[in-house]
């Protein structure tokens, strides 16, 4: 189950004792809801992504995601907040994660200092080098919105799966071109990107002309599709048998 969900996206909010509450000094930049479905596994749910910009010079970008699923009738959730630098890779400085519903998701806090990631998960301590040019999957969902709509230089990075703290080297994001998709019965011309890297199946991202991330396809079976808060919660309740 870990690979079914955790590689799909990181998600979250800060929890008690490590909270970073939104205040007057924070600006909401991104607020997007996505339906999540796996055609290969019995998983349904949603991901709510937000980005807030702050006045903190060290970590001016806060990426927050709230991921909620139903797996074979059982509710699971993973909440994650990333405090990042405002650079091309949205380099993570702190990661706070809280999972519930089973042992698929961990609860931990990690920091990156002087190029080294340090974390404690239960009684296990983790310490590993974080090379320059590392981006998280959650950060990539924001980065892809910024990429130029052309086929010039690819975006190269190392990919950190923040929910598992796995680091995969030598990934890249390439612009593919325009593609017409039917979204909610309406045809749209979208800009398509391809994400490749050693040891990973290709992933694809579709971005609108207005810089909205509309669709994500992972491992040919896991899909995120842009929706509304109402529809996201309705889908979750239906999967839980509450609707």
The domain ranges of the chain are 2-239
Helix (H) or strand (E) run with residue 6 in it: helix 2-6
Query: Which two structure tokens, joined as six digits, stand for 80?
Result: 């994650």
Percent pLDDT > 70 in the chain is 88
Q: Are 126 and 192 in contact (CB under 8 A)?
A: no
Nearest to 92 by CA among 133, 129, 135, 58: 135
Mean pLDDT, all residues of the chain: 86
Q: Are 25 and 54 in contact (CB under 8 A)?
A: yes
pLDDT digits 0-9 by tens, 188-227: 999 999 999 987 899 999 999 999 999 999 988 899 999 9
pLDDT digits 0-9 by tens, 73-89: 889 999 999 999 999 99
Q: Give the position of tokens 């074979």.
A: 72
Predicted pLDDT at 151: 81
pLDDT over 50 at 5, yes or no: no
Helix or strand or coil: residue 194? Answer: strand
Distance CA 179, CA 23 (A): 40
């Amino acid at each position: 189950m870990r690979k079914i969900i955790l590689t799909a996206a990181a998600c979250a909010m800060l929890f008690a004792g490590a909270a970073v509450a939104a205040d007057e000094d924070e600006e909401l930049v991104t607020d997007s809801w996505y339906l999540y479905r796996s055609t290969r596994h019995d998983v349904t749910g949603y991901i709510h992504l937000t980005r807030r910009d702050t006045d903190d010079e060290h970590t001016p970008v806060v990426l927050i995601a709230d991921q909620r699923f139903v797996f074979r009738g059982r509710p699971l959730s993973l909440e994650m907040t990333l405090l990042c630098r405002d650079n091309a890779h949205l380099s993570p400085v702190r990661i706070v994660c809280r999972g519930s519903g089973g042992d698929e998701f961990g609860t931990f806090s990690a920091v990156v200092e002087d190029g080294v990631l340090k974390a404690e998960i239960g009684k296990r301590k983790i310490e590993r080098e974080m090379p320059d040019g590392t981006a998280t999957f959650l950060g990539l969902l924001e980065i892809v919105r910024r990429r130029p709509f052309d086929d010039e230089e690819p975006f190269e990075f190392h990919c950190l799966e923040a929910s598992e703290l796995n680091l995969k080297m030598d990934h890249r994001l390439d612009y593919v071109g325009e593609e017409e998709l039917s979204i909610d019965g309406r045809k749209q011309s979208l800009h398509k990107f391809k994400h490749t890297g050693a040891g990973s199946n290709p992933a694809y991202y579709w971005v609108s002309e207005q810089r909205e991330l509309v669709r994500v396809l992972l491992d040919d079976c896991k899909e995120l599709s842009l929706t509304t808060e109402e529809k996201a919660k309705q889908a979750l309740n239906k999967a839980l048998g509450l609707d």
